[in-house]
Structure 1
Amino acid sequence: MDPAHSLADVQHTSFWLADPGRPEALPALVGDTRCDLLVVGGGYSGLWTALIAKERDPSLDVVLVEGQEVGWAASGRNGGFCAASLTHGFFNGLERWPNELRTLQRLGQENLQAMEDAVKGYGIDCDWERTGELDVATEPHQVDELREGAEAMAEYGVNAAFLDTDAVRAEVDSPTFLAGLWDKDGVAMVHPAKLAWGLKQACLDQGVRIFEHTPATALAESGPGMAVRTPYGRVHANHVALGTNIFPNLVKRVRPFLAPVYDFALMTEPLTDDQLAAIGWKNRQGLGDCNNQFHYFRISADNRILWGGYDAIYHYGGRVRAEYDHRPETYRKLAGHFFTAFPQLEGLRFSHAWGGAIDTCSRFSAFFGTAHGGKVSYAVGYTGLGVGATRFGAEVMLDLLSGERTERTELEMVKSKPMPFPPEPVKWAGIGITKWSLDRADHNQGRRNLWLKAMDTLGLGFDS
């Protein structure tokens, strides 16, 4: 059957954001106001920053402004994989910061546990499940890579188990799965929009003033502090924390380090009991395959399957536009891949299809910094793995604004920057060559061509 038939009734909107529990938007800022800390951006990065700032000092006057509604962008449309990793996975961290990886692993585990504690402590209903994540081999050469990966992770204290073909298919049954690597407690599954909405309410309960439909359009020094312009007024603040993801950063020198990549996902209708039995998946882990152009997939609280990834689309000039949020050719491609992975689910239909931009950088993991004499901080570049890492980024931004040296601010990961992307048209051409090369490697036993080897030497990459 043509997989396109499974898309006949699809709604072109994020399944998560379509939840009937979506809160009403708060009023926009009108007129001028003053505060101790202004947080720009109402995604995870900004929400955690505002909440932790109040936890550190309840007397602090904190304002958060959001250009649309809290959680509307990447925080409300991602796959809901909340990972302990701060480095876009163990192996990216091992390659880039081997000397401090043990510290990064510990801080990541502490960060994930702090998130779990906050979800419970603030009563955030977001379908939190500490299931871990299962990486699966779908090509023969990936089997040994996973076996070696399990050994490397064990040396760093990661609770990861290698699964052979029978073992992995006992967890989730797909004829394409040849082996697996199960990180058993380093990842939680979450309803991403509910997490954002719950953090919004927690911020309000702690006294944070939130203004929605209030884009920050300009940043400038004003006396001893900073002033941020909005359409109907200004905010004067002692300090400003920027959590704006891929949207144009108010510190303009940050922009060349980022490229907007469009990622897409499908959500199925709920599976029947027989369909669930046909694939197993009783332990409800998040899954991802080991290809360069990879899929990520998970099961929701109401037993739907989210199936996303593979295509990572960059548009010339780094444009971020609403019309790029949907791509029927990618939806059709994803549907075909889904039924290759799970042929026993033929006839299942997709209820939702959506996409949007994420903030990728050349090292795949977040970078940090300050501006205007330390009165402004930023954390960006999460490259699609920010559900958990943004909380750590919030801590870093607040540490940097405090001017105090902490264990976090002394990390090489925090003190260093990725290489910026080149200007157009070199940027567009380079990303295109990289994507082509990655696809060739996936179909050639993982062998990396000269272009990818040169990129590896320079520590550069392109990912989502």
Structure 2
Amino acid sequence: MHSTVFERHRPTASVVSNALSDTRHAVFWRDDIAQPEHPRLARDMSADLVVVGAGYTGLWTSVRAKERDPDLRVVVLDARTVGWAASGRNGGFCEASLTHGAENGIRRWPEESAHLERLGRQNLDEIEATIARYGMDAEFERTGTLSVAVEPHQIDWVAQDPGFLDAAQTRALVDSPTYLAGAWERRDTALVHPAKLARELARVAGELGVEIFEHSRVTGLTEADAGTGLLVRTAAGAVRAERVALGTNVFPSLLRRNRLMTVPVYDYVLVTEPLSAAQWASVGWEGRQGIADLANQFHYYRRTADGRILFGGYDAVYHPGGRVRAAYEERPSSFETLAAHFFTTFPQLEGLRFSHRWAGAIDSCSRFCAFYGTARRGRVAYATGFTGLGVGASRFGADVMLDLLSGEHTERTALRMVREKPIPFPPEPAATIGVELVRWSMDRADHNEGRRNALLKTLDALGMGFDS
């Protein structure tokens, strides 16, 4: 077994503790935005379409529904507020991939992988066009991603990439002693301000005539009396609707059949204080591209508009029982690990402090990308299991749900990727045991030149392969 660069060049404990000493537990993206309030649902009403969830999936669904048919009455219901969960606290990487990377798509759906890549790029183009058309202030930047090899065995993983860069070329873009090679993909990733994107989607939805209700947790989804559609119930009112789209993602599904299809995995993030001009010069990061390394337990990082560095990833923590709880967002060991890895990556920034720390739950499924389907004789549609790739793919998921609810055969509904379902996770306590074994195996692979053990190879063969 081999040590990783983050173990070979770990900073001192004092560097880490000093950097975390004044950190606030708060989502950085919420600091600089005014979030309009939406009313609670306090009466019974009717609609053509009810969307459950006011994150990206639900908001894109409501916008796309009105763009398709402006006369539809569309209602969005959320248990908290617009963009409160993953949509308002992610790293802001908006990717073209619909399949969690090209390799995952090729492995699972080889005959349609090229089609999926085309649709993914088209989806990202349409996101960019939508932001421009409605004048959305979302800090959208089509910057691409710099993928970096930080261990010798990872160099081969990027060597055949069209954007391959050797160590010197990579460090000329961003100077880290950990970089051994890289590949810069320039068009298939954009950066966004996550909370602003959610806010702006809600604004556009409202201007198109969508009615949004916050603090209106859905407690039930049943058939309405006398077969007159569906009834979406909350504590203070219900909406009778012809169609329902579910964008609940990491939260327990309203459909029992999907309860074991996803698990909540917690991701942790740090943001630094603003860097000085001298600190930026020491890093040499003059571009705006996002960065990710190539380990199973990978890091993602990016610049913010006001000159900070967001640094997240590595730990992906599942808590026994599969619950979503605020208490899980505070995990000192994960923040200490991230801080240590940050200063291994950029030792020249020693002395820099982190201003914010936070976490969020990711709706992870066994195939690592969203899955889709219908229930209640085609009147309910769902898209879930984005596994950390929902910033861009949620718009595609919205169109899939609307296609499915329309009953029309489209190029999206014809995809095997859309028609197939992932393998469900086992019930507890087997789920906890299984997830921990997989995490251990992924860590072992990172310490063994990327070699996957028998468990990971078996999961690969079963269509439940885990990688970065």
Q: Is the 8 A contact 2:270 2:335 kept in 1?
A: yes
Aligned equivalent of 2:209: 207
Residues 1:94 and 2:106 aligned together: yes
Residues 1:3 and 2:53 aligned together: no
- Taking the aligned partners of 1:141 and 1:322, their CA distance within structure 2 comes to 38
Residues 1:255 and 2:268 aligned together: no
Q: Structure 1 stretch 84-93 or stretch 73-82: which is displaced more? A: 84-93
Residues 1:167 and 2:132 aligned together: no
RMSD: 1.0
- Of 382, 387, 393 in structure 2, the residue corresponding to residue 383 of structure 1 is 387
> What is the aligned residue count?
453
- Taking the aligned partners of 1:209 and 1:387, their CA distance within structure 2 comes to 22
- Taking the aligned partners of 1:71 and 1:120, their CA distance within structure 2 comes to 21
- Taking the aligned partners of 2:26 and 2:252, their CA distance within structure 1 comes to 24
Read off the aligned partner of 2:115 and give its amino acid letter.
Answer: T
Aligned equivalent of 2:450: 446
Aligned equivalent of 2:243: 239
Matches within 5 A, 1:283-302: 283-302=287-306
Aligned equivalent of 2:76: 64
Aligned equivalent of 1:51: 63
CA deviations 1:386-436 (Å, max 9, x no partner) are 000000000000000000000000000000011000111111111111111
**When the two structures are superposed, what TM-score results if normalisation uses the length of structure 1?**
0.96
- Taking the aligned partners of 1:215 and 1:372, their CA distance within structure 2 comes to 21
Aligned equivalent of 1:13: 26
Structure 2 gaps, min length 5: 1-13
Displacement of 1:14 in angstroms is: 0.7
Matches within 5 A, 1:18-417: 18-19=31-32, 21-148=33-160, 150=161, 160-222=162-224, 223-417=227-421
- Taking the aligned partners of 1:89 and 1:362, their CA distance within structure 2 comes to 15
Displacement of 1:461 in angstroms is: 3.6
CA deviations 1:64-94 (Å, max 9, x no partner) are 0111100010000000000000001111111
Aligned equivalent of 1:154: none
Read off the aligned partner of 2:57 and give its amino acid letter.
Answer: S
Q: Secondary structure at the match of 1:284?
A: coil
Displacement of 1:282 in angstroms is: 1.5
Q: Is the 8 A contact 1:296 1:307 kept in 2?
A: yes
Q: Secondary structure at the match of 2:37?
A: coil
CA deviations 1:251-271 (Å, max 9, x no partner) are 111111100000000000111
Displacement of 1:201 in angstroms is: 0.3
- Of 423, 432, 457 in structure 2, the residue corresponding to residue 419 of structure 1 is 423
Displacement of 1:18 in angstroms is: 2.3
Structure 1 gaps, min length 5: 151-159
- Taking the aligned partners of 2:276 and 2:109, their CA distance within structure 1 comes to 45
Q: Secondary structure at the match of 1:282?
A: coil
Q: Secondary structure at the match of 2:315?
A: coil
Displacement of 1:109 in angstroms is: 0.7
- Of 440, 446, 459 in structure 2, the residue corresponding to residue 455 of structure 1 is 459
Displacement of 1:295 in angstroms is: 0.5
Displacement of 1:22 in angstroms is: 2.5
Aligned equivalent of 2:10: none
- Taking the aligned partners of 1:81 and 1:96, their CA distance within structure 2 comes to 23
Aligned equivalent of 2:3: none
- Taking the aligned partners of 1:447 and 1:248, their CA distance within structure 2 comes to 35
**When the two structures are superposed, what TM-score results if normalisation uses the length of structure 2?**
0.95
Q: Is the 8 A contact 1:360 1:463 kept in 2?
A: no
CA deviations 1:273-332 (Å, max 9, x no partner) are 111111112121111110001111011111110000000000111011111112111111
CA deviations 1:38-71 (Å, max 9, x no partner) are 0000000000000000000001100001111000
CA deviations 1:175-195 (Å, max 9, x no partner) are 001111111100000100000
- Taking the aligned partners of 1:43 and 1:22, their CA distance within structure 2 comes to 17
- Taking the aligned partners of 1:103 and 1:322, their CA distance within structure 2 comes to 40
Read off the aligned partner of 2:190 and give its amino acid letter.
Answer: A
Residues 1:431 and 2:443 aligned together: no
Displacement of 1:224 in angstroms is: 3.3
Displacement of 1:455 in angstroms is: 1.2
Read off the aligned partner of 1:165 and give its amino acid letter.
Answer: A
CA deviations 1:105-139 (Å, max 9, x no partner) are 11111100110011111111111110001111000
Q: Secondary structure at the match of 1:229?
A: strand
Read off the aligned partner of 2:102 and give its amino acid letter.
Answer: F
Q: Secondary structure at the match of 2:40?
A: coil
Q: Is the 8 A contact 1:383 1:463 kept in 2?
A: no
Q: Is the 8 A contact 2:457 2:465 kept in 1?
A: no
- Taking the aligned partners of 1:401 and 1:463, their CA distance within structure 2 comes to 33
- Taking the aligned partners of 2:256 and 2:466, their CA distance within structure 1 comes to 22
Q: Secondary structure at the match of 1:143?
A: helix
Q: Is the 8 A contact 1:360 1:462 kept in 2?
A: no
Q: Is the 8 A contact 2:78 2:214 kept in 1?
A: yes
Moved over 2 A (4+): 461-464
Displacement of 1:462 in angstroms is: 4.6
Q: Is the 8 A contact 1:368 1:415 kept in 2?
A: yes
- Taking the aligned partners of 2:64 and 2:185, their CA distance within structure 1 comes to 28
Q: Is the 8 A contact 2:15 2:351 kept in 1?
A: no
How much identity, in percent, do the aligned residues show?
Answer: 58
